Chain A
Amino acid sequence: KAGVTQTPRYLIKTRGQQVTLSCSPISGHRSVSWYQQTPGQGLQFLFEYFSETQRNKGNFPGRFSGRQFSNSRSEMNVSTLELGDSALYLCASSNGVFQETQYFGPGTRLLVL
C-alpha cells in the first residue's frame, strides 16, 4: 500500500505571498491531519478533516486554512506568508476512528524569505 504523499517537497516563497500544499492519504483513509514542525515550537496541530468536514482545529491564525476533497486528498493554504511560517508541514492520514494510528507523510519544507 502506498504511503502518504505530499507535494511539493520543497518550496521557497517571499513574505506576503500565499502557498498551497497538497496531501494524498493512504488509500482508504478518510482522515487527514496537518501539523507544523519547527525547531522552536516542535510539532503543532493545525487541523483535521474527515469526509470533507473539518472536525478539529488548532490555535493558528485564520491565514491557515485547509480543505478536503471527496477522494480524501487534502490541501492546506497559507495566505499572506510571514517569515515565521517557515517550517516543515506534515500531514498524517488515518481511518478516522478515534485515536487510531496516524501515518505521516514526509512533509513539505517551506522557506519564507
Chain B
Amino acid sequence: QQQVKQSPQSLIVQKGGISIINCAYENTAFDYFPWYQQFPGKGPALLIAIRPDVSEKKEGRFTISFNKSAKQFSLHIMDSQPGDSATYFCAASKADSWGKFQFGAGTQVVVTP
C-alpha cells in the first residue's frame, strides 16, 4: 500500500507563478520528510527536507510546510521558472529504516514561459 500519497499527478504553471504539491502520510513513526527533484535521464536530487518539530522550512524559492496533526506536508515553489520543469517526489522515513525512504508517486511540473 502507498504509505505516502502525493497530489496532483501533474501540474502546469505559468512562469512566475506558484507551484504547490501536497503529500499525506499514515505512519506516525515517520520523522524525516525530504523532497526530491528529478529531470529526465537523471536520478532524483534532494531539494529540501524537514523534520516534524518544524512547521515550515524555506530554502530560496522552495518552501516546505508541515502539518503534523493532519499528517500532511507540502512543497511550494515560488516564482516558478521553466528550469523548474521536472518531476517532484515527496518522501518519508523513520528511525532505524536505514536507507529506506517511502516515496510518493511523483508530480510532473511544467512551467510555461
Contacts and interface: CB of A to CB of B under 8 A. Distances in A.
B98 A102 contact: no
Contacts, number: 63
Contacts of A101: 34, 46, 49
Q: Chain A contact residues: over half helix, strand or loop, or mixed?
A: strand
Contacts of A72: none
Contacts of B93: 99
Interface range for A: 20 to 34
A60 to B, nearest CB: 12
Contacts of A8: none
B98 A98 contact: yes
Interface residues of B, number: 25
A92 B42 contact: no
A32 to B, nearest CB: 8
A55 B99 contact: yes
A14 to B, nearest CB: 25
A59 to B, nearest CB: 11
Interface of B: 32, 34, 36, 41-46, 49, 89, 91, 93, 95-106
Interface of A: 4, 31-33, 42-45, 47-48, 50, 55-56, 58, 90, 92, 94, 96, 98-99, 101-107
Given A101-B34, A103-B46, A104-B45, 17 more contacts: A31-B99, A33-B99, A42-B105, A43-B44, A43-B89, A43-B91, A43-B103, A45-B102, A48-B98, A50-B99, A56-B98, A58-B100, A90-B43, A99-B32, A102-B99, A102-B101, A106-B43
